[in-house]
Amino acid sequence: MRRYFNTEGLCDPNIHYMVRLDDRLEKIKKLFVDRGKYFAINRGRQYGKTTTIRALEEYLKEDYLVISMDFQEIGTDEFRNEMAFSRAFSEILLRVFEKMYAENEREAQAPLSGLREAKGKLYLRELFVWLSEICEKVSKPIVLMIDEVDSASNNQVFLDFLALLRRYYLGRGNMPTFHSVILAGVYDIKNLKLKIRPEEEHKYNSPWNIAARFNLDMSFSAEQISLMLQEYEEDHGTGMDVYSIGTCIYEYTSGYPYLVSAICKFLDEEIFESERFENMSDVWTEQGVAAAVKLLLSESSPLFDSMVKQLDIYKDLRDMIRALLYQGEKIPASPNEESIKLGYMFGFLKEEEGHVVVANRIFEMGLLNMFIAEEAAGSEAFRYGQRDKNQFITDGKLNMDLVLEKFVTYFTDIYSHKDERFVEAHGRKFFLLYLKPIINGAGNYYIEAQTRDSKRTDVIIDYLGQQFIVELKIWHGNEYHERGKEQLREYLDYYHLEKGYLLSFNFNKKKKPGMREVHIDGKTIVEAVV
């Protein structure tokens, strides 16, 4: 069977191209399971949690009995009271034992039979008595793994279950119980607004104050992506530079598992025909990756639908991300600020050099597209860009010099009377709104995270194989301005480009609005001043 890249559910290395998880599984076993830890794996949607859980289940079998269940198997109605939940939990547990351990765990058959007979009449405390007896009779330590644990997290019975699980885990020196407990889901339960009575607030926190900090990086490195591509290359012989393409995919995704697989899937299955590449050797290039990213951002997906939903619910988080992208705000990373915690939990944000940034370039591009789409209908800048767009494309080539020239004219005519604070807050947004209809459908742009701040932002534009760097700068004196041109020259070296663009929002009364061209160490910089 031909292996393929998978973006729908569980990944299997026998039928899918995937990053190998051996190192990750070894670390989880050594640092957490072997030490008997109670811990939670909280990561964003489609971050490989279920694939990791299933692979870990197989990895641990030699040394442990693994009870692995998914709380999505338990319906909402079964959380209505203790007995309904205990029956549903018992049925899953019995099914696991009957399927995997019936022959090898004869000593546990008596308590299992007792649990089978009593399962419809048990309160939670009685359920845990049976679980303790089963743990005592089996030949190996038991590891309890619960996936999608947050699917029932707003339910009191669920909290009562976690409270008892905590109690038995803490008492494991005096009573037989689970050796290790692993809970997996998107939500850190501490961040949920649970519907519980104030006098029971201790149940909200207590299941989690014993949880070990799970800080393993579950993203994929450029090297891991390259090793996966090497397996694909051995099967298909495209001639790609696997390390170069692996690094390129990493730069767009920061190793977010779903995004990595989605780009590879588009390259393998769709880009050749949809983008009219001549052969698969042309597909597996940086231009092919850019085309795959464009296709990914043009389609709806559960991951992006979930992102939109969460940002609609958490308005402060939405406003924070807008400020990061539009104003280049430097927001200090704080584990105690609610919006930052939510951004980390959903996988939208990450910490970089002590500040909060959007988690990866694709999220940034998708969020910019979303914000711009929301504002386009009422945006003067978007309408001007739409009006002017046909004059900027000649023979499939984008004339960036003319784009800046027209933007300078537009911005000077409309906003020259505005004060510095207004331009600092909106100048870059207006340029992005102006640019969007010009490249829409044929190109994409993103903001380089390393240069994004309140004074300087570099916009990288990809258009049908062309690449442009436009530095957007708020005027802060001539010395700073000259230093900015030198920084742009260095950036052109990094991107192997000979020409770059500098858009300066200048409040000096002696400024001369317009366009001029300067040359620095063999590089050409087109400067536009408004």
Under 8 Å between Cβ of 15 and 163: no
Report, as an integer, the average pLDDT of 48-55: 92
What one-letter code names the amino acid at 425? Answer: A
What one-letter code names the amino acid at 439? Answer: I
pLDDT value at position 105? 64
Taking Cα atoms as reference points, which of 379, 350, 377 lies closest to residue 364? 350
What is the C-alpha to C-alpha distance for residues 470 and 268, in angstroms, rounded to an integer?
32
Report, as an integer, the average pLDDT of 429-438: 90
What is the C-alpha to C-alpha distance for residues 307 and 215, in angstroms, rounded to an integer?
23
| The two three-digit tokens of residue 317, written as one number | 């988080």
The yes-or-no verdict on residue 416 having pLDDT over 60 is yes
Confidence of residue 175 (pLDDT cuts 50, 70, 90): confident
| DSSP 8-state secondary structure symbol assigned to residue 139 | S
Name, of 38-52, 139-153, 420-434, 509-523, the range with top average pLDDT. 38-52
Stretch (H or E) spanning 131: helix 124-137
pLDDT value at position 198? 41
Residues 6+ apart with CB under 8 A from 459: 431, 432, 435, 445, 446, 447, 448, 469, 470, 471, 472
Considering the chain, what percentage of its residues have pLDDT values greater than 70? 86
pLDDT tens-digit readout, 280-328 = 999 999 989 999 999 999 888 899 999 999 999 999 999 999 988 887 7
pLDDT tens-digit readout, 435-455 = 999 998 788 888 876 655 556
Taking Cα atoms as reference points, which of 436, 390, 380 lies closest to residue 411? 380
What is the C-alpha to C-alpha distance for residues 384 and 433, in angstroms, rounded to an integer?
9
The per-residue DSSP string of 451-471 comes to: G-SSSEEEEEEEETTEEEEEE
The yes-or-no verdict on residue 495 having pLDDT over 70 is yes
pLDDT higher at 231 or 458: 231
pLDDT value at position 353? 86
20-205, superfamily in CATH?
P-loop containing nucleotide triphosphate hydrolases (3.40.50.300)
The yes-or-no verdict on residue 125 having pLDDT over 50 is yes
pLDDT tens-digit readout, 334-350 = 878 889 988 998 999 99
Domain ranges of the chain: 20-205, 222-299, 375-529
The CA-atom distances, in angstroms, between 367 and each of 349, 374, 430, 432, 458 are 12, 11, 16, 13, 17
Helix %, strand %, coil % of the chain (to 5): 55, 15, 30
What one-letter code names the amino acid at 39? Answer: F
Q: What is the mean pLDDT of the chain?
A: 85
Report, as an integer, the average pLDDT of 219-247: 96
* Half-sphere exposure at residue 260, Cβ-oriented, CA atoms within 13 angstroms: 28
pLDDT tens-digit readout, 164-173 = 888 888 888 8
Label residue 5 exposed, middle or buried (CB < 10 Å: 0-12, 13-18, 19+). Answer: buried
The yes-or-no verdict on residue 18 having pLDDT over 90 is yes
What is the C-alpha to C-alpha distance for residues 475 and 485, in angstroms, rounded to an integer?
12
N- to C-terminal Cα separation, the chain: 60
